[in-house]
Copies of this chain bind each other. A is one copy, B any other.
């Protein structure tokens, strides 16, 4: 069995004006759908980050993939996938998917998922069962809350309903969370912070705790918006609220900054774990982060960490080190949703609910045949179908691809979007507080 066709579909997906320390989401998020076909007619699908950078990386790997045996992934890993040890791989300044130092690793990850989908279909097994077998039958995700402006994303006739409305206050975030939990059944909660004054974000977390109680673990992620001092202040203020399965994610930038926050919190008797997908972005970063006690929960990602097997390796490494492991998310469609679910199911040590942006996309822009992935009690059940367990609706792909080609931008730039809509002089300043 050989790969005989390699087909790349850049797509644009309506995305609400979500806020983070990077700025504001543009009306359309960019993603890439990859379709591989084999000589015996099996199709494997995948999803990757979007825009020119991702497309170029996929085009560059294409000659290695055409003609390849989909089982022979390690050979491609050695030639192409291995994370670079050169350059700054941290995500401090670059949004995930825009870091040139992991462009090849991300392209490998996209190819790996499509190959695993092919293999699963060839041998009639779900992807997670090709990788040592499921450690769980359903992958739990958390309610991923965002401060946001009004609007559901998209432009003109493509504009989408805004089911969540504007949310720029602590009170409205409780409403957003109730609504999301009512729809998806999530049992853990993550707040994207770094947007409002820290006092307001502290207040938001407190209101969430009041509203949902201590059985819903709480996390906050300001994407490095805070100084060490502010991070410690928030850690102290939210000692109670972030306990019991919660964590404080990337409060400040750099391994050294994270280690300082950890030391100062421990000195106060507070052992809230620090999570990160910014200071640690590859297997080579984990042991240093562990050595400095800068990170206690590593946030994997089957896209930029180099695939589902790379997430498994990370999961076993974290377990060996006594670190926790969870999963980071970017805007994504249903194919990535299933890649993430299989990665979680096949990683025994992944015991936190993972992140997903999936609630922020809608059926209108889903590329899956049969519509959106369904959640049961906040979890994605591994389908009783081979491979990733989902198929593409190629009409939808064509529609979103046409839209992509009409867009004036080819990369994610949340700062530009802030300047356009919120503050013409806006710059990303770290730390902001």
Contacts and interface: CB of A to CB of B under 8 A. Distances in A.
A72 B320 contact: no
A78 B348 contact: yes
A132 B287 contact: no
Contacts of A287: 287, 290, 320-321
B286 A320 contact: yes
A71 B313 contact: no
A284 interface: yes
A317 interface: yes
B291 A134 contact: no
Contacts of A283: 316-317, 320
A263 to B, nearest CB: 19
Contacts of A316: 283, 313
A122 interface: yes
A123 B69 CA distance: 14
A234 interface: no
A75 interface: yes
A110 B287 CA distance: 30
A8 interface: no
B74 A133 contact: yes
Contacts of A132: 73-74, 77, 309
Contact of A72 (B69, B134, B321): B134
Nearest to A315: B313
A430 interface: no
A384 B367 CA distance: 39
Nearest to A122: B123
A400 B123 CA distance: 36
Interface string A114-126: 0000000011010
A181 interface: no
A293 to B, nearest CB: 13
A374 B221 CA distance: 57
A129 interface: yes
Q: Which of A132, A134, A284, A313 gathers the greatest number of chain B CB atoms within 10 Å?
A: A132
Interface of A: 69, 71-75, 77-78, 122-123, 125, 129-130, 132-135, 283-284, 286-287, 290-291, 309, 313, 316-317, 320-321, 346, 348
A-B pairs with lowest CB-CB distance, top 7: A72-B133, A123-B123, A283-B320, A71-B129, A74-B133, A74-B132, A74-B135
